Amino acid sequence: MPATAENTIPSSATTARPAFAITRKRTRFLGLTLDECIQAFFGGNALVALIVLALIMVFLFREGAAFFGQNQRNLTVYRQAGLEYIDHIRRQETAHTALTRRLYDLRLAAFTQLTQNQRLSPADANARLAALDDFSVRFSDAVMPIRGLVSDLGEVAAAIKTRFNVNEDKTTQRAQLLAEGRAAEAAQVVIEPVDFAAELQPILDTLPLYRETNAAFAAGLETLLTAAPSLAQIEPGLDARMDEFKRQTRACIATFPEIERKLAAWDYAQPVPLTASLSAFIFGRDWLTASFWQDWYGIIPLFTGSLLVSIVALLIAVPLGVGAAIYVNQVATPREQRLIKPAIEFISAFPSVVLGFFGIAVLGELLRRFSQAGWVHWVPGFPIIERLNALTAGCLLALISIPTIFTLAEDALNNVPRALKEASCALGASRLQTIVKIITPAALSGIISAILLGFGRVIGETMIVLLCAGNRIAIPDFTSGPAALTQPVHTMTGIIAQEMGEVVRGGIHYRALFVVGIALFLLSLAINYAAQKIITRYRIAE
Amino acid sequence: MTLPPPRTPKIENRESKIAPPAPVRTLIEITGLDFYYSEKKALDDIHLRLPEKRVTAFIGPSGCGKSTLLRCLNRMNDLIDGTAIRRGSIKINGIDINRPDVDPIELRKRVGMVFQKSNPFPKSIYENIAYGLRIQGINTKSRLDEVVERSLRGAALWDEVKDRLHESGLGLSGGQQQRLCIARALAVGPEIILMDEPCSALDPIATAKIEELIHELKRRYTLIIVTHSMQQAARCSDFTAFFYLGRLIEHADTRTIFMSPSNPQTEAYVSGRFG
């Protein structure tokens, strides 16, 4: 304050600057002060982010929602063209094929037994198995009449469906022409509506024939089973498997009357509800596109694939990530800390496509070679048949999620008050006891949320699974237990990346991919939400 | 194992301090101790003999090294990187506690500690106390029940919490939490209890309860209490040691320190002229 100002106070001169000056003229820009401008800038940025997010969600849901209507039509055609009817019969054939495969497995086991343990030459072994081979051939041939029936009826049904699809295309064409104002050309597009009832009659008329064929099939299988060769001389264990096979075959035969009932009750005109379209997506066990027969959009194989790969990844990443976090936070010297922390965090600097490439070029082959070594054959699923499978992808995904899990778990451990550690030590607990009984439980909510976020990271990862998971769209065979981990799978992220480029925009396949995207989005949302909830709910009082 | 008897009526008389005490045995003997945090000398040539079953208060301004010395007595400083005793020794019952064959874990079972801020584990009241036994492999329910009750009675907390032993220890009030921490320390059966400013975060009523408890405890235990409050030192200790800038300035019975200190710095501090 200038010294002269003091003098002005008593005189209270109106022109003089007041001594206690606390007002200031602010420069204004568009009526806003500088502070308000800065505030508006950052507020605006946040708003843009929110709007973009909202737009993305609206787009995602708008594109996806139409899928269910389209899928409902898709399923309606499936029924009306009689494909559903034939698939009922086809299921019998599929079951029989699965049984035949078991028989082949049995033969392979018997052959291995004979050549390896009883040291017979392959020729001798084959001779010993002649009876079994004869049985297998006859068993496998028993299905021929049914297969023939399915094949004949299938052609008829496929033809109906094709005609229906042609009509659909024509309708679209006409609508397009009309929209362009070319009414004359539109009138030339003739649509002959498909009379489903009449077209289906030949198929439905075969029901008595089917009944006959089916009865013969069942009787044939039964006779074959009674004459099945015994494997007891080769190995008692194999005979037990043969009994199991017989039991399964009889169980299969027992389902035949049920199929007949279904066929008799089947009605092409029965409407397909929208819920059926929804459940066909959520519980559908097939993802089958561009098929000449019927397209299926079921998320289960993709979901199980994603889940399987994530489980492998977490099985590896959780012990490593959490273990490393505990070590770094509780045990390591400051020097080690300075070395380990950046090293682990550096992993996330790898572009995932590079890791994926590494998986294809090195890891897949390395794992397969390793699995072929004699001393690891006890591991379920070893030796690995496919180079690219859930295990290969899971190993690399583990690498991707370790930095996330490590960093967040380390934070959680760091937040455990030092006082708890001191209290535990002061009571005579060793360092290990303190870590196991006090520090880790106190940090548990943070560690769990770290694992969940790692899971979110893994399930959303695309490049690695696309390159390394093997991309076979099938539900892994969980009957083989943990060996399912070494099977090739396809994932929700991978399928979008792989197929989005080649689908017709607006088509059912295109929309199905969007619904997969929505499912992925909801899953990630749920995981992140759960992680947030856990960390706030179980945070220990400071 | 020395544990307090079931709650006895409080008969401790303040005046008993001046009655001639029974010959006191020295339990802790500190000779020529130099202690460093990295290169910073925190304790300089400390010589101190602490008597058994008496309360000794460490007083002095912040940063004078009183807490550091306290934490040397159960080797809690081992947990801090870069700390070292460069010279001198601490003997408890004639054993140098920094000898390589001394297990700090065994030491800490005999020398319990109560911290400035109450720090119960995020477990139930029962488990907080049982923890010290569980880590020793004692898991028998009857034994745990017995020790939990005895320790809580010893810390004058039993009547307040006996109906909610399985609720979280964090649900107790500040003073109760601090007594829970004392009970937890008692459960392991120590002979010495170190208290690092046990009342600094407590209100006067809770402080009074803890001080009352200190009087009870000294019948069985040797107590060393670091405090910022000179009134507290005067109220509950038998002996007082005054530290300043890492040095022990004066050590005598409490009455002498407060009534007629021989060192002018002590006098300046206890009369409130600095600190």
Query: Residue B99, Cβ neighbours under 10 Å: how many?
Result: 9
Who has greater pLDDT, A23 or B42?
A: B42
Residues of A in contact with B184 (CB under 8 A): 423, 427
Instruction: Name the token pair of A29.
Output: 């820009």
Q: Which among A490, A495, A470, A483 is positioned nearest to A387, based on CA atoms?
A: A470
SS (H, E, C) B248-265: EEEEEEHHHHHHCCCCHH
Burial string for B109-145 (b: 16+ CB within 10 Å, else e) reads: bbbbbbbbbbbbbbbbbbbbbbbbbebbeeeeeeebe
A293 closest CA partner among A495, A150, A147, A489:
A150
Amino acid at A478: F
Q: Is the pLDDT confidence value at B21 over 80?
A: no
In this complex, do B108 and A427 lie within 8 Å of one another by their Cβ atoms?
yes
Name the token pair of A441. 């439980």
To which residue do tokens 């009922």 refer?
A: A88
Task: Pick B132's closest partner by Cβ from A333, A427, A441.
Answer: A427
Task: Give the whole-angstrom CA distance, residue A234 versus residue A50.
Answer: 71
Q: Are B152 and B204 spatial neighbours (Cβ–Cβ below 8 Å)?
A: no
- The pLDDT value given to residue B20: 47
Task: Report the pLDDT value the prediction gives residue A523, as an integer from 0 to 100.
Answer: 93
Of A419, A421, A428, the CB nearest to B117: A419
Nearest-5° Cα angle at B243, B237 to B245: 160
Q: For the CA atoms of chain B, what is the radius of gyration? A: 18
Please tell me if residue B170 touches chain A, with a CB cutoff of 8 Å. Answer: yes
Q: Which of A333, A423, A441 sits opposite B119 (nearest CB)?
A: A423
User: Which pLDDT belongs to residue A542?
Assistant: 40
Instruction: Yes or no: say if A60 and A521 are a contact pair by the CB < 8 Å rule.
Output: yes
> Do the Cβ atoms of B132 and A541 come within 8 Å?
no
Integer Cα distance of A203 and A206 in angstroms:
6
Instruction: Please report where in the chains the tokens 């981990």 appear, as a residue.
Output: A485
CB–CB contact B135 A540 (8 Å): no
Tokens of A375: 């001393």
C-alpha distances in angstroms, A235 versus A100, A232, A238? 20, 5, 5
- On whether the CB atoms of residues A525 and A455 are closer than 8 A, the answer is no
pTM of the model: 0.79
Write out the E strands in chain B.
Answer: 26-37, 40-51, 55-59, 83-92, 95-96, 111-114, 192-196, 222-226, 239-244, 247-253
| H/E run at residue A100 | helix A83-112
Test A427 with B109 for CB contact under 8 angstroms.
yes
> Could you tell me the mean pLDDT of each successive run of 10 residues in chain A, 542 residues long?
48 60 78 86 93 93 91 89 87 89 86 82 84 87 87 87 86 87 81 82 85 87 84 78 87 87 85 90 89 88 94 95 94 91 91 91 89 82 84 92 94 90 90 91 90 93 92 85 87 93 88 93 92 74 42
* Assembly ipTM: 0.84
Size of interface A-B (CB pairs under 8 A): 68
CB burial readout A104-139, b (16+ within 10 A) else e: eebbebbbebbeeeeebeeeebeebbeebeebbeeb
Contacts 24+ apart (CB under 8 A), A103-109: A103/A135, A103/A136, A103/A139, A103/A140, A103/A245, A104/A136, A106/A132, A106/A231, A106/A238, A106/A241, A106/A242, A106/A245, A107/A132, A107/A133, A107/A136, A109/A238, A109/A241
Its sign, for the CA torsion A397, A398, A402, A408, is positive
Q: Are B18 and B75 in contact (CB under 8 A)?
A: no
B116 to chain A nearest CA, in Å?
10
The answer to whether the Cβ–Cβ distance between A422 and B79 falls below 8 Å is yes
Interface mutation vs chain B, best among A330, A335, A425, A427, most B CBs within 10 Å? A427
CATH number of A310-489: 1.10.3720.10
Contacts of A219 (CB under 8 A, 6+ apart): none
What single string gives the DSSP state of each residue in A424-451?
Answer: HHHTT--HHHIIIIIIHHHHHHHHHHHH
Model confidence at B39, pLDDT cuts 50, 70, 90, reads confident
Q: CA-CA distance, B76 to B198, in Å (whole number)? A: 17
With CB atoms and an 8 Å threshold, state whether A424 touches B79.
no
Crossing angle of helices B174-187 and A418-426, rounded to 10°: 30
Q: Measured between alpha carbons, how far is A518 from A516 in angstroms, rounded to an integer?
A: 5
The A-side interface with B (CB below 8 A) comprises 333-334, 417, 419-430, 433, 437-438, 441-442, 540-541
Tokens of B94: 């004639």
Please provide the average confidence, as pLDDT, over all residues in chain B: 86
Of A426, A441, A442, the CB nearest to B113: A426
Residue B31: CB partners within 8 Å, gap ≥ 6? B47, B88, B89, B91
pLDDT of residue A16: 60
Cα separation, A105 vs A111, in Å, equals 10
Residues ≥6 apart with Cβ < 8 Å to A71: A277, A280, A281, A297, A508, A512
The share of chain B scoring above pLDDT 90, in percent, equals 45
- Residues A168 and A77: their CA atoms lie apart, in Å, by 11
Percent of chain A with pLDDT strictly greater than 90: 34
- Confidence tier at B16 by pLDDT (50, 70, 90): very low
Question: How far apart (Å, rounded) are the C-alpha atoms in residues A256 and A263?
Answer: 11
Nearest CA in chain B to A541: B170
The span from the first CA to the last CA of chain B, in angstroms, equals: 39
> Cα–chain-centroid distance for residue B67?
10
Given a contact cutoff of 8 angstroms between Cβ atoms, the answer to whether A324 and A406 are in contact is yes
Strand order in the sheet with B26-37: B40-51, B26-37, B83-92, B95-96
Per-residue pLDDT tens over the stretch B229-254: 888 999 989 999 999 999 999 999 99
List, in sequence order, the alpha helices (H) in A255-331: 256-265, 274-282, 300-326
Where along chain A do its domains lie?
Answer: 83-267, 310-489
Cis omega before residue A383 (within 30°)? yes
* Mean pLDDT for the stretch of residues B20-43: 83
Does residue B169 belong to the interface with chain A, where contact is any CB pair within 8 Å? no
Instruction: Dump pLDDT digits (tens) for B125-182.
Output: 999 999 999 999 888 999 999 999 999 998 888 999 989 999 988 889 888 999 999 9
What per-residue confidence (pLDDT) applies to A539? Answer: 57
Rounded to an integer, what distance in angstroms lies between the CA atom of residue B23 and that of residue B2?
A: 20
For residues B240 and B270, the answer to whether their CB atoms sit within 8 Å is no
Nearest CB among B81, B106, B121 relative to A423 is that of: B121
Question: B119 and A420: CB-CB below 8 Å?
Answer: yes
Write the CB contacts of B39 (distance below 8 Å, at least 6 apart in sequence): none
